[in-house]
Amino acid sequence: MLNELDCRGLACPSPVIQTKELIEKENPGTVQVMVDNEAARQNVSRFMESRNFQVSAELEGSDFRVLGTRDSCAIMERPLNERPESDQKKIMVMVATDRMGRGDDELGTKLMVNFLKTLKEMGEELWRLVLVNSGVKLTIDGTQALADLKDLEKNGLHILVCGTCLDHFNLLDKKQVGETTNMLDIVTAMQVADKVINI
């Protein structure tokens, strides 16, 4: 049986929350979700994939039809935001700006680049890097921080980039690093983390 959701016109994270509620309540083999923006398409697709669905998405006019199917015997994988079994402390760093501090913007940009270069010194305790608001501007070509972010990701750091923020700044198709995410993932990650550092 096909379970359908029409999430067009809904702001983040409503499409993901409605998809999550449907999957948890109905445990369907097939889910179809209509959304009206690229950030929602990515977020709903990624959420369904985390629940062991095979996902495809088709553009229909200006909307997206996201279809997820799974074998009824499929084993649920651990969600992205669930704490791994480990005694290792988990630190989440949330960056809400593309520069550090107030005053001189050029200095603030240099400080942010230096901060991101130095993040690796946190070692394995650094669990998530979340970029929101103008922090998402660090993920596009031409920024001094992009190479450092790519290096952090290559070395295993999970970088979450707010899809609503990317959409607001018209940067959704310009993001070069990290995974487009939504507020549900961000809030849940905050709950799972042992410590959250806000920049």
Query: Which SS3 state, helix, strand or coil, does residue 78 take?
Result: coil
Which stretches within the chain are classed as H helix?
A: 14-26, 38-50, 105-118, 146-154, 163-168, 183-192
Q: What is the pLDDT of residue 38?
A: 87
* 85 located within any domain: no
Per the structure, how many domains does the chain have? 2
pTM attached to this predicted model: 0.72
Average pLDDT over residues 78-96: 71
CATH number at residue 19: 3.30.110.40
Residue 116: closest CA among 126, 125, 106: 126
| Whether residue 191 sits in one domain with residue 105 | yes
Residue 35: closest CA among 11, 65, 2: 65
How confident is residue 64, by pLDDT bands cut at 50, 70 and 90? very high
| Whether residue 101 sits in one domain with residue 58 | no
